[in-house]
Structure 1
Amino acid sequence: MKTTQCALAALVFSTPLMAADWDGTPVPADAGPGNTWELHPLSDDFNYSAPASGKSATFFERWSEGFINPWLGPGETEYYGPNSSVESGNLVIKASRKAGTTKIHAGAIHSNESVTYPLYMEARVQVTNLTMANAFWLLSSDSTQEIDVLESYGSDRPSETWFDERLHLSHHVFIREPFQDYQPKDDGSWYPNPNGGTWRDQWIRIGTYWVDPWTLEYYVNGEHVRTVTGPSMIDPYGYTGGTGLSKPMQVIFDAEHQPWRDTQGTAPPTDEELADPSRNKFLVDWVRFYKPVPDTNGGGPGNGSISVEKEAEDFDNVGGYFSDGQSQAISTYTTGATTAINYVNREDYADYTVTVPEDRIYNITYNISSGITGGRIDFLVNESGTWSNKTQTAVPNAGWNNFQPLSGGTVYLEAGTHTVRLYGAGTHDWQWNLDKFTLSN
């Protein structure tokens, strides 16, 4: 939603009570027990004007042109101030040819202030039809810690279909001298369009909840689609010195030509593509940021304590591809005082009937163990006969039978009875053992 010209004039004299574009769109992440979400002042609905050259005072309250330091960008990228603007209710990040060169002028802006966890951040965007990256990301001032809320490569070239149909949801930790770089490379870091086809011809809500230094939750169009948690996923080589993603970071929106794509045979945009206004603009309708704060209202709807616990062995049905010589794909066993399921291999699953008392977002917690690296547990819900994958959670290697609580992110469920599937989706033939899982607020 965008305001009219009259409403824009009124916005100059707005108060915090005036509506923003995201009003009525709930925050999909859970603020935690006893907390509620408080809007951070960096949030911007871009309902003002900031021309390509000169920008405006309203723009400069939050943002600056270019990168967070004098670097001009990767590969053939050359960040160029006039290729960012605010017009027609959108932030516009444009790509164009630098005349007489192979360089690509690309828009980029960064936040004046740094932000830190816990923080939920979300933008409504439409990506370019170019082989360049469309990026919404955070970076520490020393360029050693990075959170990529969005990297998207939308192009209608036949060779680019795989990238065109996926969003990259990731992070980096670096050592600068000698240079070392880690980012997750599991399948879950590339999120395919659940409806099939491209992402570029639609508006997308893309969000990340930076829960703490060791936990990131990713959300696409209000659905929790990925969680990375623990040292094995955030920083397995200790590049942060044991601190995880702990440094304050600035927010960046930009377009980039990334050289790694050249090495895979992806040619940079052509002059014709860069000159086409229907292709060369990365649009941001709004961006919002929230901090969890204590809920001083209390007692409101949905504020009561809810905990729905399901023992793993109480499954309705199991299936999959590996039986390990067992009578069925998944077995039940007892270790000490714990009864759990085991022989869960890649592509095995267990189905459960779960009843919840309220329409709300629920926290998922698994009591789980694994003795391998590369395990993943997915939480699916049967919606009118179709399995919808709600969350994907990497399972850390803490040892078989060493059951530990693991945050599985959040899922929105309406009051009533649901059929839930827990799916072994990692890369290893073996996956995990499970004692129980819990849905709570």
Structure 2
Amino acid sequence: MGQIANAQEWKNIPVPAWAGQGKTWELQSNLSDDFNYNFNAVNYRSNFGNGKWYNFYHNAWDGPGTTYWKHNRVKVDGDNLVITVAKSNNTTKMGIPGVFSGCVTSNKRVVYPVYVESAISVANISLASCFWLLSPDDTQEIDIIENYGNVPWFKQFTHISHHSFIRTPFTDYQPRDWNSWYNDNRVTANYGWGDWCWNNGNRRYVRMGVYWVGPKHFEYYIDGKLVRVMYRNATATKVNGTWQYQYFNAMNGKFPTNNTNGYTAVTTYATSTNYNFSTIQAASNNSRGISVIDPGNFQGGNGFTKAMDIIINVESQQWLALNHTPSNADLASPARNQMKVDWVRVYKPKSNSGGGSNGTTCANAPTYNGNSNSYSAGQYAINGGILYRKRSDGQWDLITNCNSSSRITELVTVDIPVAQISLSPNPAEGLVKISGLGEGTYQANILTLQGQIISSQTVSRESNTLHTDALSSGVYIVRVADQAQKLIIR
């Protein structure tokens, strides 16, 4: 998770989400921007980035709490989008001085299914650095990053959240379960995200992405790693290396019931080492029927369906203004008062018409330790994020499309020895038996050809059945220890 993204390189960073069976990712160039140009701050609303953005919020509202969004707090410096905050003596909001800040909104909107990601260096100050999606009527919001760079205690977390609103009377739901506050071992209560991003002036960037899969399904990624999933009535969150699958215990009016500590009361349905979509499905099916997307049914049971603007800003929220007002020195310091965005990219899944051709038509033959002869017939290799299989004639069959933006980021099927396990029946429809297992128990992983683990099951010589009824028709890889076989699902 320690990768630092540079503007010149973002197009070469694989999209971490799975586009779906038979699909690849297609860049949405009208919403993606590397900010490798200049836009000077101006005192009026202005489009920039070839019309992709403008320098204000998507309506006349000028900010929450003690925030006053101003056009001239936004610029592009040739490498980054820069939002700068400063002290305001205006006491109109909450009766106390506030902050001048900037806000950026996209001129085009996104709608599911869509993957939206940005590389951000948060402001090292007691304010919120935000990158989010919001419907034009302000009723549906997905927060990609809400990070409190130098706010005591909260600076060690990234709030992974969304909002479902009723405008009249104003009612706001957002997740309050403890796992929505994501912790990362790069930061602590004493050395927060603001310190990490500032890095003594050599600024670092954290990649935050959301795959808005469907109306009731969100996936959140930090530096290319899946960390949290919201699916119908259940959540899955990676906590200290272990996935926790949870659902809400009860409702209190329009909101889930909280514990005495103020966080939502949840039941942990299961845990696992690797994320398993079938487990979160089971957790949702076994839940108490409370939606984790919209528990108060503010969206009429439809989930999130509205097209949304992309919004980027720094703000002084009401609770921050009451408890953690930035000092005048921090507001005046370039080491504290700037949020920088290296790039924004947006992808939509599309049907893949490629694949299946000889790998040499789009890339050189894969190599292993500099020697392509290291592979025997039937083994797999990865070159440039593309998966190949070696044929008996020494040529390579292309498994994933070389023209796709969906590349394999982990060497999940590289250098597989001649498999001792076998699968039957294969092709299969519901159950598959594995033969050739040794003594003891094993974790059997079912992977897509793009390398995503979609099911993990415990097997042994005696209990050697894999359940595959939740899989769509297609080709998969079954991996047990260092052995693997191709599995076809009808």
**Structure 2: segments with no counterpart, 5+ residues:** 92-96, 197-203, 234-290, 358-385, 388-397, 401-412, 414-429, 432-440, 458-468
Residue 47 of structure 2 contacts residue 55 of structure 2 at CA under 8 Å; is this kept in 1?
no
Alignment partner, residue 23 of structure 1: 11
Counterpart amino acid of residue 240 in structure 1 = Q
Q: Counterparts of 1:350-389 in structure 2 under 5 Å?
A: 353-354=443-444, 360-365=450-455
Counterpart amino acid of residue 55 in structure 2 = E
1: CA distance between counterparts of 2:355 and 2:23?
9
Counterpart amino acid of residue 288 in structure 1 = R
Change (3 A) 1:57 1:133: closer
Q: Of 301, 308, 316, which residue of structure 2 is paired with 1:242?
A: 301
Alignment partner, residue 33 of structure 2: 44
Q: Of 323, 329, 336, which residue of structure 2 is paired with 1:272?
A: 329
Shift of 1:88: 3.6
Q: Counterparts of 1:19-98 in structure 2 under 5 Å?
A: 21-40=9-28, 41-53=30-42, 58-59=48-49, 61-98=51-88
Q: Counterparts of 1:288-367 in structure 2 under 5 Å?
A: 288-299=345-356, 302=387, 353-354=443-444, 360-365=450-455
2: CA distance between counterparts of 1:172 and 1:72?
19
Residue 447 of structure 2 contacts residue 455 of structure 2 at CA under 8 Å; is this kept in 1?
no
Shift of 1:353: 2.4
Alignment partner, residue 170 of structure 2: 179
- 1:190 has 2:184 as partner: no
DSSP-derived class of the 2:158 partner: strand
DSSP-derived class of the 1:185 partner: coil
Shift of 1:114: 1.4
Which string of whole-angstrom CA distances, capped at 9 and with x for unpartnered residues, describes residues 359-403 of structure 1? Answer: 843152589xxxxxxxxxxxxxxxxxxxxxxxxxxxxxxxxxxxx
Q: Of 133, 140, 147, which residue of structure 1 is paired with 2:135?
A: 140
2: CA distance between counterparts of 1:414 and 1:283?
43
TM, length-normalised to structure 1: 0.65
Deviates more, 1:114-123 or 1:293-302: 293-302
1: CA distance between counterparts of 2:137 and 2:69?
19
Residue 21 of structure 1 contacts residue 286 of structure 1 at CA under 8 Å; is this kept in 2?
no
2: CA distance between counterparts of 1:34 and 1:360?
10
Residue 446 of structure 2 contacts residue 453 of structure 2 at CA under 8 Å; is this kept in 1?
no
2: CA distance between counterparts of 1:358 and 1:110?
36
Which string of whole-angstrom CA distances, capped at 9 and with x for unpartnered residues, describes residues 167-191 of structure 1? Answer: 0111010111112111111122111
Residue 49 of structure 1 contacts residue 56 of structure 1 at CA under 8 Å; is this kept in 2?
no
2: CA distance between counterparts of 1:220 and 1:81?
30
2: CA distance between counterparts of 1:282 and 1:116?
26
- 1:221 has 2:223 as partner: yes
2: CA distance between counterparts of 1:99 and 1:241?
43
Which string of whole-angstrom CA distances, capped at 9 and with x for unpartnered residues, describes residues 290-345 of structure 1? Answer: 0000111122654859xx9xxxxxxxxxxxxxxxxxxxxxxxxxxxx99xxxxxxx
1: CA distance between counterparts of 2:448 and 2:110?
33
DSSP-derived class of the 2:11 partner: coil
Residue 83 of structure 1 contacts residue 95 of structure 1 at CA under 8 Å; is this kept in 2?
yes
2: CA distance between counterparts of 1:88 and 1:414?
47
Alignment partner, residue 199 of structure 1: 193
DSSP-derived class of the 1:361 partner: coil
Shift of 1:78: 0.4
Change (3 A) 1:60 1:185: same
TM, length-normalised to structure 2: 0.59
- 1:117 has 2:112 as partner: yes
Change (3 A) 1:185 1:60: same
Change (3 A) 1:356 1:242: closer
Root-mean-square deviation (CA, aligned residues, Å) is 3.5
- 1:105 has 2:100 as partner: yes
Residue 446 of structure 2 contacts residue 455 of structure 2 at CA under 8 Å; is this kept in 1?
no
Between Structure 1 and Structure 2, the one with more strand by share is 1
